[in-house]
Amino acid sequence: MQIALEARHLVKQYPGVLAVDDVSFQVREGICFGILGPNGAGKTTTIEIMEGVTPATGGEVWYFGARVGQKFRQEAGIQFQNTALQDFLTVRETLDMFQTLYDRKANLQDIIDECSLNDLQDRDNRKLSGGQRQRLLLAVALVNKPRLIFLDEPTTGLDPQARRNFWDLVVRIRAAGTTIILTTHYMDEAQILCDEIAIMDNGKIISQGTPEELLRAQYSHVVIELPVDDVSGDLSNLQHRIIEAQGIIEIETEDVNATLQQLATQVRGLNGLKIRQRNLEDLFLDLTGHSLRA
Amino acid sequence: MLNRIYAIFRARNIEFLRDRSTLGWNIVMPVVLVLGMSFIFGGGDRSQYTVGLLQSSDPIDLTSHPFLETRYVDFVVVDDEESGFRKIGRHQLDLLLQLESPPRYWVNPDSPKGYFAELALLQSYEGQIQKGQISGEAIRYVDWVLPGILGMNMMFSCLFGVGYVIVRYRKNGFLKRLRATPLRAIEFIIAQVASRLMLTTTITAFVFLGTQYFLATRFEGSYLVLLLVAIAGATALISMGLLIAARVTSEELAGGLLNLATWPMMILSGVWFSLEAADEWIRHAASIFPLTHVLSAARAVILDGAGLVQVGPQILTLFAMSLVFLGLGAAFFRWHPN
């Protein structure tokens, strides 16, 4: 599988702020690559440098073995985090306008079907709901039949149902062979959609790999959670790492059966007990020391 | 390239034509102004007399010409006979006077004010003075001010219609979205110029023809030449708007800069009154504004029947200004709001 996009030592310096600090990574063709990080981590700046809309202070971006140029502009689809469209144009007119800007063209009706915009074709852009608008912005990003598509926090502000519908759409796009670069601060989104992720904080990539690799490398245990009020005895003899926060006790263990047997004598009941695997949110917290939505 | 320009051109036209409040304002405002001016200055009479003095190589000794101290008479210097005769014919001057030897004056026999100005002259002048007559119909103030109002409307439409829109596009991220496509800055700019040019020229032509029909305003020249003047003027003003908006990201700053550009033109370009009586440096300063050239060319065509040769210098100046503004605008153009 060849390399679709490569960032080489990207740096972006704003007055008094180093937004992107020597960031390098490669994105293989056909995968969904996620860039995760809290607000202000530098992920949007990184992605905008790669898209060619923000000049880098240093570094280079390569697209299929050549520096980004007109070929990249013809073949890339982009959905920004915040994009206004032209007022008074309908959905169909907006798609027509953007498609005319490209030499590569997708079948517009297929895109309209795929993004469920059939009933909205004649509606003024300004009268779309949040979910409808996100679908239109994704459709705009698809008008040139892109080989590579950037999705910058595409589900921010959507209700849970609209988010799930959007994920289905992204899965279908990836299944068609399009390379996707996705930024998000929703861990469930990254875990479901991304084949590979890079976690950013303070302008740097602090970890990179598949979600499974990253979690396996960091964690060999599972977590047992108990409400503090359910504990009656002293847990210090458990020989496990125990964290207490917000009324919940977390016990990290590699042997769930043995730990549960030990716990049985020291708790009032197990109705409030939960057993879970460590997830990307835990990973981020451990790597950076602060929450993803901070 | 042409496809991309056409896509942006068409989208901008749709946006403008569907924005009924803006479209209505662009049509209604000049009509209301022309009708208002027609009502207020319908008679075309001004309270003072105006006498032109043919330029003398030597300073005029006021004490030896008591007529020059006559009250309620404005004396203005006229550079050449041809210009003076034209103004007498159009009743813009009540009398034209040459004090150098042989002393002469010209008056329009159809002008009531010329008759009284002549009486005042002969009463105070001692010695022989030759009389000449130049006939012609009076130009009402509404005839004179109509190109000014249309030009002013064109100026606002071009500068604010383009400048504000581009700053809004930049601020809300639409330009950034276009930046991510194969569209180039010069293609975007050409599309904006073409769209506003077509809309402004069409609206101005519509309003001009309407006022001409309903107010029977004077028209001596060629519609084709006037259209060329309008196109050259609109192009220069749109390009100026693009240059002003090339890097600005705040609507407040854009408003300030656009006002800074429009108000001097409103005052110094001859929208409401002629600058012929103004100091020479003011007239020179006014020539840096595109609107000055638009109005002088439009009035020459409308009122004097000037042809392409006569208004050629103004048209060339306007196109040269457009090239400079467009070149600088494209060079400094910023897509990103930050």
Residue B14: its chain A contacts at CB < 8 A? 88-89, 93
The predicted pLDDT at position A293 comes to 47
Residue to substitute from B181, B187, B188, B336, interface A, most A β-carbons within 10 A: B181
Residue to substitute from A12, A17, A50, A53, interface B, most B β-carbons within 10 A: A53
* CATH 3.40.190, chain B: domain bounds: 49-133
Give every residue of chain A whose pLDDT is below 50, as ranges: 293-294
The predicted pLDDT at position B271 comes to 86
A76 in B contact zone (CB under 8 Å): yes
Closest chain A CA to residue B188: A101
Residue B59 predicted with pLDDT over 70: no
Residue B41 predicted with pLDDT over 80: no
B334 in A contact zone (CB under 8 Å): no
Could you give the percent of chain B with pLDDT greater than 70?
A: 92
Chain B residues 270-329 with a CB less than 8 Å from chain A = none
Q: How far is B137 from chain A (nearest CA, A)?
A: 49
Q: How far is A232 from chain B (nearest CA, A)?
A: 58
The answer to whether B336 contacts A76, with C-beta atoms less than 8 Å apart, is no
The answer to whether B7 contacts A51, with C-beta atoms less than 8 Å apart, is no
Residue B43 predicted with pLDDT over 60: no
SS (H, E, C) chain A: CCEEEEEEEEEEEECCEEEEEEEEEEEECCCEEEEECCCCCCHHHHHHHHHCCCCCCEEEEEECCEECCHHHHHHEEEECCCCCCCCCCEHHHHHHHHHHCCCCCCCHHHHHHHCCCHHHCCCEHHHCCHHHHHHHHHHHHHCCCCCEEEEECCCCCCCHHHHHHHHHHHHHHHHCCCEEEEEECCHHHHHHHCCEEEEEECCEEEEEECHHHHHHHHCCCEEEEEEHHHECCCCHHHCCEEEEECCEEEEEECCHHHHHHHHHCCECCCCCCEEEECCHHHHHHHHHCCCCCC
A271 in B contact zone (CB under 8 Å): no
When CB atoms are compared, the residue of A51, A85, A96 closest to B174 is: A85
- Domain chopping of chain A, boundaries: 3-216, 220-277
- Name residue B134's amino acid: I
A284 in B contact zone (CB under 8 Å): no
The answer to whether the pTM exceeds 0.80 is: no
A97 in B contact zone (CB under 8 Å): yes
Residue B15: its chain A contacts at CB < 8 A? 86-89
Closest chain A CA to residue B4: A101
Q: Which of A155, A61, A132, A80 is nearest to B175 (CA)?
A: A80
Summarize pLDDT for B18-34 with one digit per residue, the tens.
Answer: 877 777 777 777 777 77
Average pLDDT over residues B43-56: 70
The answer to whether A88 contacts B177, with C-beta atoms less than 8 Å apart, is no
Chains A and B form CB pairs within 8 A to the count of: 71
B46 in A contact zone (CB under 8 Å): no
**Residue B95: which pLDDT band, with cuts at 50, 70 and 90?**
very high
Residue A97: its chain B contacts at CB < 8 A? 7-8, 10-11
Backbone angles phi, psi at B322, to 5 degrees: -60, -45
The answer regarding whether domain A3-216 maps to CATH 3.40.50.10860 reads no
A66 in B contact zone (CB under 8 Å): no
Please give the residue that has the higher pLDDT: either B256 or B324.
B324
Domain boundaries B49-133, CATH class: alpha beta
The predicted pLDDT at position A294 comes to 42
A294 in B contact zone (CB under 8 Å): no
The predicted pLDDT at position B124 comes to 82
B170 in A contact zone (CB under 8 Å): no
B155 in A contact zone (CB under 8 Å): no
Closest chain B CA to residue A82: B173
The predicted pLDDT at position B277 comes to 65
Closest chain B CA to residue A143: B181
ipTM, two decimals, is 0.76
The predicted pLDDT at position A76 comes to 92
State the average pLDDT for chain B.
84
The answer to whether B336 contacts A84, with C-beta atoms less than 8 Å apart, is no
The answer to whether A53 contacts B4, with C-beta atoms less than 8 Å apart, is no
